[in-house]
Amino acid sequence: MAPLAGDFTYGQWSAVYNALSFGIAAMGSATVFFWLQLPNVTKSYRTALTITGIVTWIATYHYFRIFNSWVAAFEVQQAGGDYAVSVSGTPFNDAYRYVDWLLTVPLLLIELILVMKLPAGETASMGTKLGLASAVMVALGYPGEIQENLAVRWFWWALAMIPFFYVVYSLLAGLGEATAKQPESVSGLVSAARYLTAVSWLTYPFVYIIKNIGLAGPTATMCEQIGYSIADVVAKAVFGVLIWAIAAEKSRLEELSKPGRR
Amino acid sequence: MAPLAGDFTYGQWSAVYNALSFGIAAMGSATVFFWLQLPNVTKSYRTALTITGIVTWIATYHYFRIFNSWVAAFEVQQAGGDYAVSVSGTPFNDAYRYVDWLLTVPLLLIELILVMKLPAGETASMGTKLGLASAVMVALGYPGEIQENLAVRWFWWALAMIPFFYVVYSLLAGLGEATAKQPESVSGLVSAARYLTAVSWLTYPFVYIIKNIGLAGPTATMCEQIGYSIADVVAKAVFGVLIWAIAAEKSRLEELSKPGRR
């Protein structure tokens, strides 16, 4: 990435700083919640819930790294009645987000597929297709993200949108059919998880093109960092809570229908 | 190892930086996954799964060390519209990789042998033979890795290839027989694990000879570090997922055939 350009105000700098710290707290606490809930679901849903926690755990690691990189990239000093912010010369490493997505986005889709408990063959084929398509999507996004040239940014954005639409379409249409086969009390939750994925995913391409729609310098960087942080918390932690709710409800139904139950 | 030579661009430096951080995240999350899955397999496979997690855990430790060593070995400063990278004079310690392999490579083979659940005598003899051969292989590779002299590199490479071929041959031929004795629903997975081992292992001797086939300086170092990182993630984390899948499927079959089961 090119060096951070322009003069950040203390307000802009600390808005990003606090959004990143919020990311650490939200992802870290979601991780603990998911893993502590493992004994409360039946064996069938433990792998889905384990992966749900792995996704937020990987994100916790990366939010720590992004936070530390943000702090190292600036010098903040009192200047009269305010604080003056200047770049320190140490690079701010934005690649952490892409490394994170490369690992977590395929896993997110796999946790959704696992919690639906489809026949084994369907689980494997959907997991492979959606997992690979989402990894390609992230890989195609990166070359544009590190570019200042707006035409080149649009080019990679458009390429990444192809697997993006494939995944979102599969979620809405393909999994829609499977949703209909879920027990009545969970089909609403599964449907919510599918739509939450679609909506939270749609934020990413918009944050990506912030620089292409006229914003530049510190304001663009601030909107990008805060936008990605909120989208990440929704797509990983809030989405994970839905996965947990589905797993818990389906576990309850399984226990009810056990033959040996008094 | 000789000091790092040549001028690294910021792109080369950060490609290695991000590959190493990817290593930390991938190995760390794989470890948690394997250990959280322990209650989900029967007792027979818990040792194999524990060791699978130990392998990625040792790798997580070493990737942290290699990452920190990489950061300490350079100074990165903003220079106009880009970043300038220069060596700091602090050594980059490549020996971490060899210490890691000395511990993890024999363990990797042992986890594969354990998950096959062969008769006790066969498990012990195969574990000893493959474990020792692979440790000798790693030990023979190191003297060449720290050499700049290409003839000496080739000499140690060739020596290390002797135990290397012995291990790969044993996996493909010797374990091939045992694979045939596995239950039908897992023989495909076991076979996949054997081939993944062979293929991912084959990347190492190629990465090793990067310097011998004309690449030099920063480009060679970058390709080496990224190549080893990807090979490690495949050989330890992805391979581990296959070991887990085998253990989970064999556990399911064991539970099904339990006499007391209704």
Is A105 touching B (CB cutoff 8 A)?
no
Interface membership of A146 toward B (CB under 8 Å): no
Give the whole-angstrom CA distance, residue A163 versus residue A169.
Answer: 10
Give the model's pLDDT for residue B1. 60
State which residues form the domain around B75: 10-254
φ/ψ (deg, to 5) at B15: -65, -45
- What digits encode the pLDDT tens for the residues A153-212? 999 999 999 999 999 888 887 777 778 788 888 888 888 888 888 888 888 998 888 888
Contacts of B86 in chain A (CB under 8 A): none
Measured between beta carbons, which residues in chain B are less than 8 angstroms from residue A36? none
Residues of A in contact with B76 (CB under 8 A): 90-91
* Alpha carbon distance A125, A141 (integer Å): 24
Label each residue of A8-51 as H, E or C.
CCHHHHHHHHHHHHHHHHHHHHHHHHHHHCHHHCCHHHHHHHHH
Contact B18 A54 (CB under 8 A): no
Cβ contacts of A33-40, under 8 Å, gap ≥ 24: A33/A241, A33/A244, A34/A240, A34/A244, A35/B36, A37/A244, A37/A248, A38/B36, A40/A248, A40/A251
Q: Does B9 touch chain A (CB under 8 A)?
A: no
Asked if B26 and A96 come within 8 Å (Cβ–Cβ), the reply is: no
More confident: A258 or A21:
A21
Q: Determine contact: B88 vs chain A, CB below 8 A.
A: no
For chain B positions 39-58, those within 8 Å of chain A (CB to CB) are 40
Which residues of chain A lie closer than 8 angstroms to B31, CB-CB?
Answer: none
Return the DSSP state at B89.
S
Residue of A nearest to B233 (CA): A103
Q: Is residue B112 part of a domain?
A: yes
Q: What is the mean pLDDT of residues A132-140?
A: 94
The pLDDT assigned to A260 comes to 64
Please state which of the ranges A15-29, A30-44, B13-27, B105-119 shows the lowest mean pLDDT.
B105-119
Q: What are the tens digits of pLDDT across the range B114-156?
A: 988 888 998 999 999 999 999 999 999 999 988 888 899 999 9
Report yes or no: A250 at the B interface, CB cutoff 8 Å: no
Residue of B nearest to A259 (CA): B262
Q: Which residues in chain A have their CB less than 8 angstroms from residue B64's CB?
A: none
SS3 content of chain A, % helix, strand, coil (to 5): 80, 5, 15
In a domain, B101, yes or no: yes
pLDDT at site B260 = 64
Mapped onto helix, strand or coil, the DSSP state of residue B4 is coil
Judged by DSSP in three states, B76 sits in: strand
Interface test with A, best of B9, B18, B63, B64 (most A CBs within 10 A): B18
How many angstroms separate the CA of residue A28 from the nearest CA in chain B?
13
B76/A99 CB distance under 8 A = no
Residue B27 predicted with pLDDT over 60: yes
Encoded tokens for A110: 């796999």
Entry field: residues in chain B:
262
Instruction: Give A246-257 pLDDT, tens digit per residue.
Output: 999 999 998 888
Q: pLDDT-based confidence at B261, cuts 50/70/90?
A: low
Rounded percentage of chain A residues whose pLDDT exceeds 90: 63
Start-end of H helices in B37-149: 46-72, 95-116, 120-145
Residue A261 resides in a domain = no
Residues of B in contact with A50 (CB under 8 A): 33, 36-37
pLDDT digits (tens, 9 = 90+) for A7-36: 899 999 999 999 999 999 999 999 999 999
Distance (Å) from the alpha carbon of B147 to chain A's nearest alpha carbon: 32
Contact of A261 with chain B, judged by CB distance below 8 Å, is answered with no
Domain assignment of residue A137, yes or no: yes
Answer whether residue B4 is part of any domain.
Answer: no
The string over B177-196, giving b where at least 16 C-beta atoms fall within 10 Å of a residue's C-beta and e elsewhere, is ebbeebeeebeebbbebbeb
- The three-class DSSP label of residue B149 is coil
- Average pLDDT of chain A is 91
Q: Quick check: is A157 in a domain? A: yes
- Inter-helix orientation angle A217-232/A10-36, to 10°: 10
Question: Could you report the per-residue pLDDT of B169-209, keeping only the tens digit for each?
Answer: 888 877 777 778 888 888 888 888 888 888 888 889 998 88
Residue B260: inside a domain, yes or no? Answer: no
pLDDT per residue as tens digits for the range A73-129:
999 999 888 999 999 999 999 899 999 999 999 999 999 999 888 888 888 898 999
Domain membership of residue A206 (yes or no) is yes
This complex has an ipTM of: 0.91
Tell me, what's the pLDDT at A120? Answer: 84
3-state SS, residue A147: coil
Residue B262: predicted pLDDT: 47
Q: What gap in Å lies between CA B114 and CA B44, rounded to an integer?
A: 9
Domain count, chain B: 1
Strand partners, A83: A78
Q: Is the dihedral of CA B231, B236, B237, B243 positive or negative?
A: positive
* Beta-ladder partners of B75: B86
Q: Is the pLDDT score of B39 beyond 90?
A: yes
Average pLDDT over residues B64-69: 97
Question: Which CATH number goes with the domain that contains A82?
Answer: 1.20.1070.10
Helix axes B10-36, A46-72, angle to 10 degrees: 150
pLDDT surpasses 90 at B82: no
Q: Is the pLDDT of residue A262 over 60?
A: no
